[in-house]
């Protein structure tokens, strides 16, 4: 099968990733979902760490674990790096995994940051929620 015939990675499509997207990545550690990151690269998305970002990102991929600090602050910071149509994929460990984040914590942080949940993603070890910031931001 040639590359032209290969189907696009389904997970990357569910994330809304397409070629030439710039994706700011935060919270990367060895425990992240490497298959998901590979799907993003395969679709042509370029990931950079937030510290290396030059300009605005089309999306942010935020790996978050319970002891990582204040989620609201992180969501607010991520919004400042997004372009006008940007969004955040927040990925947290599933129940029973180290770093599990209670859904009520996510809901409260998103609401406080003014973000709206627009999609979900279920991975073997991670749960994802797509959060969109208010569209009236500058």
**Residue 73 is part of a domain; what is its CATH number?**
3.40.50.150
In a domain, 2, yes or no: no
In a domain, 3, yes or no: no
In a domain, 5, yes or no: no
pTM for the full predicted model: 0.85
Where in the sequence is the domain holding 105, given as residue range(s)?
10-132
**Which pLDDT score is estimated for 134?**
86
Q: What is the DSSP letter of 104?
A: H
In a domain, 71, yes or no: yes
Calculate the CA dihedral of residues 11, 45, 99, 73 and round it to 10 degrees.
-130
pLDDT beneath 50, residues of the chain: 1-8, 138
In a domain, 33, yes or no: yes
**Which pLDDT score is estimated for 83?**
92
* Helix residue spans in 5-70 (DSSP H): 10-15, 34-42
**Which pLDDT score is estimated for 132?**
95
**Which pLDDT score is estimated for 129?**
97
Structural domains of the chain, count: 1
- On whether the CB atoms of residues 87 and 96 are closer than 8 A, the answer is no
Q: What is the DSSP letter of 100?
A: -
Residue with tokens 């940007």: 86
**Which pLDDT score is estimated for 4?**
41
In a domain, 138, yes or no: no
In a domain, 137, yes or no: no
**Which pLDDT score is estimated for 38?**
86
**Which pLDDT score is estimated for 1?**
40
In a domain, 94, yes or no: yes
**Which pLDDT score is estimated for 16?**
83
| Phi-psi map region of 3: left, alpha, beta (phi>0 left; psi -120 to 50 alpha) | alpha
Indicate the SS3 state at residue 86. Answer: strand
């Amino acid at each position: 099968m040639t590359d032209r015939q290969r189907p696009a990675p389904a997970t990357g499509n569910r994330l809304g990733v397409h070629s030439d997207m710039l994706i700011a990545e935060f919270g990367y550690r060895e425990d992240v979902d490497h298959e998901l990151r590979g799907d993003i690269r395969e679709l042509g998305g370029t990931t950079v760490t937030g510290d290396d970002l030059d300009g605005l990102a089309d999306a942010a991929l935020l790996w978050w674990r319970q002891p990582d600090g204040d989620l609201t602050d992180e969501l607010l910071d991520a919004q400042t790096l997004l372009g006008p149509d940007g969004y955040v994929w927040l990925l947290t460990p599933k129940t029973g995994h180290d770093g599990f984040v209670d859904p009520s914590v996510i809901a409260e942080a998103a609401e406080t940051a003014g973000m709206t949940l627009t999609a979900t993603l279920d991975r073997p070890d991670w749960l994802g929620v797509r959060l969109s910031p208010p569209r009236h931001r500058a």
